[in-house]
């Protein structure tokens, strides 16, 4: 199976924060943002493997800055590493205040997707080619994040997490 470039999976999604998207304080609701992030990440994963995908996990999402009513949301999603049937997708989210003309970081996160065959069973995905310094950094650290996810999900024993152990044992 031919490998694909990380850049080819990039998706940039833009949304306008409307009154129905906000809470009582005029801020974008976290759940609405997570919904949009899931869509952007699924599109990036689907572009990489050219197959239907399902969300397998979402890492911790910490909100750095609220996005206000009337602001624009920019979500950038890109595959950071492909494993046998799964892909990690990194997302960066910015808010943009068009009135005052400035952009600010809202949050970032990692989502994991599994590609499915026509019988809805996991199928192999193409490998990933990381070209830029940032892509290579994210690629190299993805295995540690994956091992941590698997441990927290009860699918891997901590003793089997060789990449994580190497961090603590020197």
What mean pLDDT, rounded, does the chain reach? 95
Quick check: 1 pLDDT over 80? Answer: no
Rg of the Cα atoms in the chain: 17
- What pLDDT is attached to residue 114? 98
Domains in the chain: ranges and CATH: 4-131 (3.10.129.10)
pLDDT at residue 169 is higher than 80: no
User: DSSP letter string over the chain?
Assistant: ---EEGGGG-EEEEEE--GGGB-TTSBBPHHHHHHHHHHHHHHHHHHHHTS-EEEEEE-----SS--BTT-EEEEEEEEEEE-SSEEEEEEEEEEEETTTTEEEEEEEEEEEEEEB-TTS-B-----EE--SHHHHHHHHHHHHHHHHHHHHTTSS-GGG-HHHHHHHH-
Average pLDDT over residues 155-167: 86
Whether 145 has a pLDDT exceeding 80, the answer reads yes
Per-residue model confidence (pLDDT) at position 170: 62
Alpha-carbon 140 to chain mean position: 16
Q: How far is CA 20 from the centre of its chain?
A: 25
Interval 91-117 mean pLDDT: 97
Q: Does the structure show a pLDDT above 80 at 143?
A: yes
Q: Can you give the pLDDT at residue 82?
A: 98
Between 118 and 169, whose confidence is greater?
118
- Give pLDDT, residue 128: 98
Per-residue pLDDT tens digits for 58-97: 998 889 999 999 999 999 999 999 999 999 999 999 999 9
pTM over 0.95: no
Distance CA 109, CA 84 (A): 21
């Amino acid at each position: 199976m031919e490998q694909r470039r990380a850049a080819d999976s990039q998706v940039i999604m833009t949304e306008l924060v409307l009154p129905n998207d906000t809470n009582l304080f005029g801020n974008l609701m976290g759940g609405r943002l997570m919904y949009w992030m899931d869509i952007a990440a699924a599109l990036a994963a689907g572009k990489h493997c050219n197959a239907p995908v399902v969300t397998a996990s979402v890492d911790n999402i910490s909100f750095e800055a609220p996005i206000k009513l009337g602001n624009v949301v920019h979500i950038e999603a890109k595959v950071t590493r492909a494993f046998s049937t799964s892909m990690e997708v990194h997302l960066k989210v910015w808010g943009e205040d068009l009135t005052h003309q400035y952009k600010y970081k809202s949050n970032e996160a990692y989502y994991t997707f599994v590609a499915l065959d026509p019988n809805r069973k996991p199928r192999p995905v193409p490998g990933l080619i990381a070209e830029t310094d940032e892509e290579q950094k994210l690629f190299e650290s993805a295995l540690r994040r994956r091992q941590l996810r698997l441990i927290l999900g009860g699918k891997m024993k901590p003793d089997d997490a060789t990449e994580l152990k190497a961090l603590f044992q020197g």
